[in-house]
């Protein structure tokens, strides 16, 4: 298929499972014969038959996984405009720095004086994130955004308990990420959903109705999942604070605010970052996530331990036999486990350290002006796509959107073409479909987030494909209803897959 100046075709391979490639007696590795004593596993627990493992040679295994890796659709291979997920390019400099021996080959149980550089990096990253968020103190431990949310909610709970307050409810707008209500419920709170106004944002009038004495706080994403800045946020956070609650900020959409507005200044008390969104560390299979949490000063005592302290150089800490951090006078860094009000650890060791190195590298590489520019370009790119697609797709909340654009299938419905059909057809054009059917307040949502790194020609090619699909919807709806046509597999029956779940190989 020809689109712009790129010739595209769907995914073409067919790969059997390792079990299907198994040949009895074939071996990929050989173990030395065991000459020790017979095992003392109780007979009732010991395996009677050999484990049913695929019998396969090493090159076969390597080819299997290499071929699978070639199917990977990633930000390294194609445009990936998955709304809300912020599929940012992962700069190669991050990878280079993460592979420095001093970062890659350390053990989390090493004596602190031998990992001063790692501790310094974490300490400084905490400071950078505090500066970017306008908040005072940061923990880097949480392993992902939802984990950061849980950490934040536990901090909220610990704070309220310390005040002797029993507040049971958390308010969450209906535009929120699904993780917000899940987190609040998991943290033991009752979730109360608030309706957003006609223009897609939370209004002080509606919030006032819900802000009762039993409300612990509000979870808010800004800009929200429609890409809209919550324009009344100062009034909104003021109402929650007046009512004795806290405001949790979901930092998933920080890529629109970074360097432009500080959540702390907007009245947010607790905020999580997604380093794998805003700060260019890899997503999902490309590497674990990281969800640091920043808080206001009065919440600092509740942060997870260990905290990282900087001890100024030249003082008692570095005198005689102190940490071997080089020249005298340099500051040293130490872990602090002694925090009586801390919610405790939320993860083993220090979080996903490799991701912290990458995020640190990105922040240092970009600098304050670069980060600001990244947000500006992310917003510009999304608005460019919005403007080009506006004549062809319905845009329910269009005014003033920032880093993403949420369309719907309302115009295509007339031709019996749905959002799912449009998404599947995009596969034929060589694109990963955007996020679909989210946020829930937009029926048939198509949520496009291009991020800042894409060139105008990439954006144009994607828009050309979307416009071509809108035209196909009118002239040849069946082509969309049956898409994709060029992929190795045609449309999968998602309902059947969910109804008749098969999660393991059937021998």
**Sign of torsion over alpha carbons 302, 305, 311, 317:** positive
Region of 11-19, 345-353, 438-446, 472-480 interacting with another protein (CB under 8 A): 438-446
Q: Least Å distance between CB 498 and another protein?
A: 4
Q: Which of 41, 109, 319, 495 binds another protein (CB under 8 A)?
A: 495
Site for another protein in 159-178 (CB under 8 A): 178
503 binds another protein (CB under 8 A): no
CB of 199 to another protein, least distance (A): 13
- Give the integer Cα–Cα distance in Å for 229 and 399: 10
DSSP letter at 222 equals: S
- Binding another protein by CB under 8 A: which of 46, 51, 494, 502? 494
Tokens of 178: 């699904």
Other beta carbons less than 10 A from residue 192's beta carbon: 17
Q: State which residue, 340 or 498, has the beta carbon closest to another protein.
A: 498
DSSP 417-480: --HHHHHHHHHHTT----EES-STTSTTEEEE---TT--HHHHHHHHHHHHHHHHHHHH-HHHH
- Asked if 77 contacts 430 with a C-beta cutoff of 8 angstroms, the reply is no
Q: In whole angstroms, what is the distance from residue 429 CA to residue 424 CA?
A: 9
For 327-393, give the DSSP string.
STT--EEEEE---TT----SSSBTB-HHHHHHHHHHHHHHHHHHHHHHHHHHHHHHHHHHHHHTTTS
Among the residue ranges 66-74, 124-132, 334-342, 437-445, the one whose residues contact another protein (CB under 8 A) = 437-445
Q: Which is nearer to another protein, 195 or 479 (CB)?
A: 195
Which helix or strand (DSSP H or E) is residue 325 part of? Answer: none
Minimum distance from CB of 437 to another protein (Å)? 4
Residue from the set 297, 443, 474, 490 that interacts with another protein by CB under 8 A: 443
Q: Which of 316, 340, 498, 503 binds another protein (CB under 8 A)?
A: 498
Three-state DSSP class for 7?
strand
CB nearer to another protein: give 172 or 290: 172
Nearer to another protein, 90 or 408 (CB): 408
Q: Calculate ∠ Cα 206-173-162, nearest 5°.
A: 95
- Does residue 505 bind another protein (CB under 8 A)? no
Instruction: Please choose, out of 260-268, 344-352, 379-387, 433-441, the segment that lies near another protein by the rule CB under 8 A.
Output: 433-441
To another protein, the closest distance from the beta carbon of 202 in angstroms equals: 19
Give min distance, CB of 440 to another protein, in A: 6
Site string for another protein, 402-431 (x = CB under 8 A): ------------------x-----------
Residue indicated by tokens 């007046």: 242
Pair 132, 371: CB distance under 8 Å: yes
Question: Over the range 432-458, which residues count as b (16 or more CB within 10 Å of their CB) and which as e?
Answer: bbbbbbbbebbebbbbbbbbbbbeeeb
Here's the x/- map for another protein, 362-401, by CB under 8 A: it reads as ----------------------------------------
| Residue 437 is a binding residue for another protein (CB under 8 A) | yes
Taking the complex as a whole, the smallest distance from the CB of residue 70 to another protein amounts, in Å, to 28
Q: Which two tokens stand for residue 394?
A: 């319905």
Binders in 175-234 for another protein, by CB under 8 A: 178
| Contacts with another protein, residue ranges (CB under 8 A) | 178, 420, 436-438, 440, 443, 494-495, 498-499
């Amino acid at each position: 298929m020809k689109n712009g100046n790129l010739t595209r075709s769907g995914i073409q391979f067919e790969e059997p499972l390792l079990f299907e490639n198994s040949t009895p007696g074939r071996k990929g590795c050989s173990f030395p014969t065991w000459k020790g004593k017979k095992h003392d596993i109780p007979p009732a627990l010991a395996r009677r038959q050999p484990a049913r493992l695929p019998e396969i040679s090493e090159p076969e295994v390597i080819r299997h996984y290499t071929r699978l890796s070639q199917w990977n659709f990633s930000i390294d291979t194609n445009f990936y405009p998955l709304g809300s997920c912020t599929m940012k390019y992962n700069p190669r400099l991050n990878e280079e720095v993460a592979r420095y021996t001093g970062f890659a080959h350390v053990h989390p149980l090493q004596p602190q004086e031998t990992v001063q550089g790692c501790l310094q990096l974490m300490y400084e990253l905490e400071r950078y994130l505090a500066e970017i968020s306008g908040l005072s103190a940061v923990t880097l431990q949480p392993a992902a955004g939802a984990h950061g949310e849980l950490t934040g909610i536990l901090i909220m709970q610990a704070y309220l308990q310390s005040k002797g307050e029993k507040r049971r409810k958390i308010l969450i707008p209906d535009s929120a990420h699904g993780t917000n209500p899940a987190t609040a419920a998991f943290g033991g709170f009752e979730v109360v959903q608030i309706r957003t106004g006609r223009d897609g944002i939370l209004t002080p009038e509606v919030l006032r109705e819900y802000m009762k004495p039993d409300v612990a706080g509000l979870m808010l994403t800004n800009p929200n999942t429609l890409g809209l800045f919550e324009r009344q946020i100062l009034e909104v956070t003021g109402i929650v604070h007046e009512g004795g609650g806290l405001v949790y900020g979901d930092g998933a959409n920080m890529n629109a605010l970074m360097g432009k507005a500080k959540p702390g200044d907007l009245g947010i008390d607790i905020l999580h970052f997604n380093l794998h969104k805003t700060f260019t560390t890899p997503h999902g299979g490309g590497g674990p996530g990281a969800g640091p949490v920043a808080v206001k000063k009065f919440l600092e005592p509740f942060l997870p331990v260990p905290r990282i302290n900087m001890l100024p150089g030249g003082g008692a800490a570095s005198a005689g036999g102190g940490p071997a951090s080089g020249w005298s006078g340099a500051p040293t860094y130490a872990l602090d486990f002694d925090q009586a009000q801390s919610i405790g650890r939320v993860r083993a060791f220090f979080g996903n350290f490799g991701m912290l190195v990458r995020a640190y590298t990105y922040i240092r590489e970009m600098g304050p002006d670069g980060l600001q520019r990244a947000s500006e370009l992310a917003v510009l790119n999304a608005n460019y796509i919005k403007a080009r697609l506006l004549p062809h797709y319905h845009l329910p909340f269009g005014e003033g959107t920032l880093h993403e654009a949420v369309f719907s299938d309302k115009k295509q419905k007339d031709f019996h073409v749905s959002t799912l059909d449009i998404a599947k057809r995009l596969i034929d054009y060589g694109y990963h479909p955007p996020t679909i059917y989210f946020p829930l307040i937009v029926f048939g949502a198509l949520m496009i987030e291009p991020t800042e790194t894409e060139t105008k020609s990439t954006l144009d090619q994607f828009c050309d494909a979307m416009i071509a699909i809108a035209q196909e919807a009118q002239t040849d709806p069946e082509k969309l209803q049956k898409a994709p046509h060029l992929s190795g597999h045609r449309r999968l029956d998602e309902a059947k897959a969910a109804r008749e779940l098969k999660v393991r190989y059937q021998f």
